[in-house]
Structure 1
């Protein structure tokens, strides 16, 4: 039986493809288990992660057949929440390449990424209240950061699903590409990340995710470490040498 998450490993990145065609890539327990295993790998050996979905769909949501039978104890266990928190906290950037539907838990997985790009067929949002539950795997705190409180409230309280143009206008995705160009565009972003100093990238992500109360002290400590790094000296020397050669 094919696994719910196909993994392609490269020297500086990993591509993880949600692949459950029978359920339009709905996120089930097996997907969550594989996400945890992948996070453990990337925590140990940091690389950029590209998340995408097979068959013209990112993820249609959580697996309703499993979700229907979950209890209060399952809700408190944060089955999807804990996996998405771990994705968000990965040392290197996470890129969500979204084609088609990203609904419910699928949208919340995309919200956990650092960068989101999409295709003209994107449909993204959280219809959970129509199923008698809330979006409890990150939407209520991540979505206001991404699109603002008023727009997040509209999406979550009405179940509004955004199309590609609106998602772009609201800043929920940063670019729209034809479906055939989506993965190449994600790899192009990963290439731009890979051209930079990995430690500087990691420290930038740490600062971006830090609570407001930690600023600006956290930037100064991270910068202090970078100021002492051989890579900073090497890159700045190379920059100055190139400028002299012009």
Structure 2
């Protein structure tokens, strides 16, 4: 049976899992326990692929890494990549990940959102990476993912000059794709999940996998994935249904 967690609230459905970061007393700061529990969740989703919806608690997505723990970390801790390994695992999950961002998503919390396939936001969302103000760098993905998402000039403003994006600013640079009132954010996340689940799961899984392969592996990776799908029963069923609808 799936275990319960101390830092996460988990709602499981047949086609998706909603995970609520739940350390409201410290604005959902990501501590070692949360990292460990998210790794357990990843293992569950790797064994049985489902869409993952990540959200926060009490108007905060995640305020960042737990500073009390971060202050005590040393060279050896940095080299183990505590958060970067987790966020890379989340990014590699077989089916899409949706980050529903309400309120603050800063530092490690923003980097967790950057690892998702989709980011949608509430009107009160704020995203940024203030790590350099604390004497460190955003080493869990922002230094490369953020430039891929919003371009180098905006990424440097956020990382090197401490810019915090509002929801509308994040929408304008395509860091998020939807903005909703806070009380409708989760419904919007599930509506997006519904659109994803209307697709063929295997095709969605392979599309995500091939999307992220290095450029040098295209088009061979595309052709190999398509070869698998060309033999799938679901492909024949869906195309037959399409052709029959077209006849009507």
Give me the TM-score of the superposition, normalised by structure 1: 0.98
| 1:108 and 2:111 matched | yes
1:178 aligns with one of 169, 178, 181: 181
1:11 aligns with one of 14, 18, 21: 14
Counterpart of 1:81?
A: 84
What 5-or-longer segments of structure 1 have no aligned partner? none
| 1:215 and 2:204 matched | no
Structure 1 position 104, deviation (Å): 0.1
Rounded Cα–Cα distance in structure 2 between residues aligned with 1:157 and 1:175: 26
Counterpart of 1:193?
A: 196
Counterpart of 1:139?
A: 142
CA offsets per residue over residues 75-94 of structure 1, 9 Å max, x none? 00111111101000000000
| 1:123 and 2:126 matched | yes
Structure 1 position 214, deviation (Å): 1.2
TM superposition outliers: structure 1 runs of 4+ over 3 Å: none
Give me the TM-score of the superposition, normalised by structure 2: 0.97
How many residues were matched structurally?
245
1:30 aligns with one of 14, 21, 33: 33
Structure 1 position 99, deviation (Å): 0.1
CA contact (8 A) 2:104 2:125 kept: yes
Rounded Cα–Cα distance in structure 1 between residues aligned with 2:95 and 2:236: 22
Rounded Cα–Cα distance in structure 1 between residues aligned with 2:29 and 2:118: 21
Rounded Cα–Cα distance in structure 2 between residues aligned with 1:207 and 1:159: 34
CA RMSD of aligned residues (A): 1.0
Rounded Cα–Cα distance in structure 1 between residues aligned with 2:136 and 2:53: 29
Structure 1 position 2, deviation (Å): 7.1
Structure 2 residue matching 1:84: 3-state secondary structure: helix
What 5-or-longer segments of structure 2 have no aligned partner? none
1:58 aligns with one of 57, 61, 76: 61
Rounded Cα–Cα distance in structure 1 between residues aligned with 2:99 and 2:157: 23
Rounded Cα–Cα distance in structure 1 between residues aligned with 2:218 and 2:137: 32
Rounded Cα–Cα distance in structure 2 between residues aligned with 1:207 and 1:220: 10
Structure 1 position 215, deviation (Å): 1.3
